[in-house]
């Protein structure tokens, strides 16, 4: 069974706020310290993670997930290659799920507000992160859950063979035994740094390859408000938004994909009947 998608409307360059290092004119009507209205709801999402699934979309069965994998064929420099994209969890933590995903997008939103080029680390308070995620803050309970969610992402390892691309050159990142991570460090208030000093804030440091791809504009602008609305209805809906944004980045009017293959990239359960698949999507 094949699935066909068509865009309702295609964004023009003038509809997408450009990245800029110049200061934005202050809007006196907005709250002090809040981002400019033109930047408030735009998040730059790295292209590899638009295409490939890093996070699990549901909490059901999360404890039983050790890894998720996508396989397929791609062409580079006129040659066909079998690609493998595999994400495995750290044995000390659960596989990164919906809360890890929501926290990651909130961190990308905070990063976007810092201005371009993006820089490490991303500093935040727990209240700030919860507010950006649009989740209720309830003190130590919230902090504990968010720490676990961030540690799950920190510990997850990507093994890539002809899957991940380097943003500057658009060529495949080399396969490596140690794999690739999204975060190189999570440091929380009162944690001791390598130099012996004590952290006075929370910090997440993005991995070099990931930050470099964002800064080379190997990314696409996600409407963060729309993403949150879709995610509130169904994590599958927000993930489908990401995946289709990647596939409609080329000037095509129709995108057609095998249903079972689509489910690999989301990831989602393969429904046995067309009526169930239609309801699912």
Percent of the chain with pLDDT over 70: 84
The SS3 call for residue 134 is coil
pTM: 0.84
pLDDT at residue 120 greater than cutoff 90: yes
Contact 259, 1 (CB under 8 A): yes
Task: Report helix angle 224-233 to 235-247, nearest 10.
Answer: 140
- Of 98, 120, 103, 123, nearest in space to 199 by CA: 123
3-state secondary structure 86-117: EEECCCCCCCCCHHHHHHHHHHHHHHHHCCCC
The SS3 call for residue 242 is helix
**Distance between CA 26 and CA 36 in Å, rounded?**
7
Please, what is the end-to-end C-alpha distance for the chain in angstroms?
14
Average pLDDT over the chain reads: 86
The SS3 call for residue 186 is strand
Helix runs in the chain, H state only: 47-51, 98-113, 126-133, 140-155, 208-215, 224-233, 235-247, 259-265, 274-280
pLDDT digits (tens, 9 = 90+) for 97-117: 999 999 999 999 999 999 999
Residue 84: C-alpha distances to residues 53, 56, 105, 190, 231 (Å): 12, 17, 24, 39, 27
Q: Is the peptide bond before 121 cis (omega within 30 degrees of 0)?
A: yes
pLDDT digits (tens, 9 = 90+) for 48-62: 999 999 999 999 999
pLDDT digits (tens, 9 = 90+) for 151-201: 999 999 999 999 999 999 999 999 999 999 999 999 999 999 888 899 999
Segment among 87-96, 135-144, 166-175, 258-267 with least mean pLDDT: 258-267
């Amino acid at each position: 069974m094949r699935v066909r998608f068509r865009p309702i409307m295609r964004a023009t360059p003038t509809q997408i706020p450009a990245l800029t290092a110049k200061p934005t004119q202050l809007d006196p009507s907005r709250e002090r310290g809040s981002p400019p209205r033109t930047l408030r709801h735009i998040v730059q999402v790295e292209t590899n993670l638009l295409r490939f699934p890093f996070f699990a979309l549901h909490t059901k069965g999360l404890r039983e997930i050790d890894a998720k994998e996508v396989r397929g064929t791609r062409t580079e420099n006129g040659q066909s290659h079998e690609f493998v994209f595999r994400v495995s969890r750290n044995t000390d933590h659960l596989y990164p799920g919906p809360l890890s995903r929501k926290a990651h997008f909130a961190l990308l939103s905070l990063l976007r507000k810092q201005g371009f080029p993006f820089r490490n680390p991303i500093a935040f308070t727990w209240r700030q992160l919860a507010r950006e995620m649009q989740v209720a803050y309830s003190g130590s309970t919230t902090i504990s859950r968010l720490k676990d969610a961030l540690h799950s992402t920190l510990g997850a390892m990507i093994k890539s063979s002809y899957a991940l691309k380097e943003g500057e050159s658009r060529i495949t990142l080399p396969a490596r035994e140690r794999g690739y991570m999204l975060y190189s460090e999570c440091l929380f208030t009162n944690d001791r740094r390598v130099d012996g000093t004590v952290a006075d804030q929370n910090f997440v440091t993005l991995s070099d390859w990931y930050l470099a791809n964002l800064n080379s504009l190997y990314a696409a602008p996600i409407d963060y408000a729309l993403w949150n609305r879709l995610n509130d209805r169904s994590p599958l809906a927000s993930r489908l938004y990401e995946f289709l944004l990647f596939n409609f980045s080329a000037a095509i009017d129709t995108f057609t994909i095998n249903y079972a293959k689509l489910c690999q990239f989301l990831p989602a359960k393969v429904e046995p009947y067309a009526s169930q698949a239609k309801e699912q999507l």
